[in-house]
Structure 1
Amino acid sequence: MTEVLLVAHGKLAQEMKNSAEMIFGKLPEFYTIDFLKEDGFDSIKENISVVLNQMSDSVIVVSDLFAGTPYNACCGLAMEYRQKNIEVISGMSLPLVLETASMCGNKTPKEIVDYLLSICSDTVRTFLVEEDDDEEDL
């Protein structure tokens, strides 16, 4: 089973898990780390390290911002923890977290990331009002 670590600025990680659990149900294989104003790179890296040591060897890390401090710390630790199968992805959103939750019971971190990358353009949508020029007068 793949375990999931959500890491984000502010309290987004914990609130993202809370929101996902409203829809998906309990997610005991999900862990969260918040990155607060008083935290720095070293402190978040230490917090992530503590949690990674509690997790299995099959982990997907979902961070909020590409190249942000949480993401950079996760990437650094993924390189240090090469004995674990860790994949790091950025762009945290509720659809992304729900898709991850639906697959972590039977997919590897790599399989999950590959799928998420294949559908990411489907998770951002816009509503367009189209006018029908062929509308007949009634």
Structure 2
Amino acid sequence: MAQLIVTGHANFSSGLLSSVKLITGLDEKFTAVDFLESMGAEALNQELQAKIQETNDDVLIFTDLPGGTPFNQSVLIKTTLTDRTIEVVSGTNLPMLVEASMMDQQPIGVLLTSLINTGQDNVMYYQQKSTQKVTASDDGI
């Protein structure tokens, strides 16, 4: 089982986790670490490390943007805390978190692979196909 942490700019993490709870009824499997405007990178790093230290489990950190402060600080933690497996995923979306809430008992490698596929598979562009205009006929049918 992995500890699941969601972090991102502003209320990205707490907002997504409120949606996860609405959809699945589950949110206790996750920890939200919002990166608020009043925080600096060091404060975010300290908060993430504090959450990681609450358990001895492997850790999967979900972040919003690659290269953003939440991602960068998560990667920094991954490279400095070597006493357990810490994985960092960027580009987090709601389908990934819904699936993670259902699969949290899986080994972190299996979970990670499945979540990346889910995240990618659920990015779509809706394009309406042309339709024929329906008109009323004389007989009312």
Indicate the TM-score class for this superposition, using the shorter chain for normalisation.
0.7 to 0.9
How high is the sequence identity, in percent, across the aligned residues? 23
What amino acid is aligned across from residue 121 of structure 2 in structure 1? D
Distance in 2 of aligned mates of 1:12 and 1:19: 11
1:61 corresponding residue in structure 2: 61
2:116 corresponding residue in structure 1: 117
Cα drift, residue 77 of structure 1: 0.5
Q: State the secondary structure of the residue aligned to 1:54.
A: coil
Highest Rg: 1 or 2?
2
Instruction: Give deviations 1:14-72, integer Å, cap 9, x for gaps.
Output: 11111101111122221010101121111110111111101332211100111100011
2:130 corresponding residue in structure 1: 131
Q: TM-score, normalised by structure 1?
A: 0.88
What amino acid is aligned across from residue 107 of structure 2 in structure 1? T
1:81 corresponding residue in structure 2: 81
2:8 corresponding residue in structure 1: 8
Structure 1 runs, 4 residues or longer, greater than 4 Å off: none
Query: What does 1:84-103 align with in structure 2 at a 5 Å threshold?
Result: 84-103=84-103
Q: TM-score, normalised by structure 2?
A: 0.86
Aligned length: 133
Cα drift, residue 132 of structure 1: 6.5
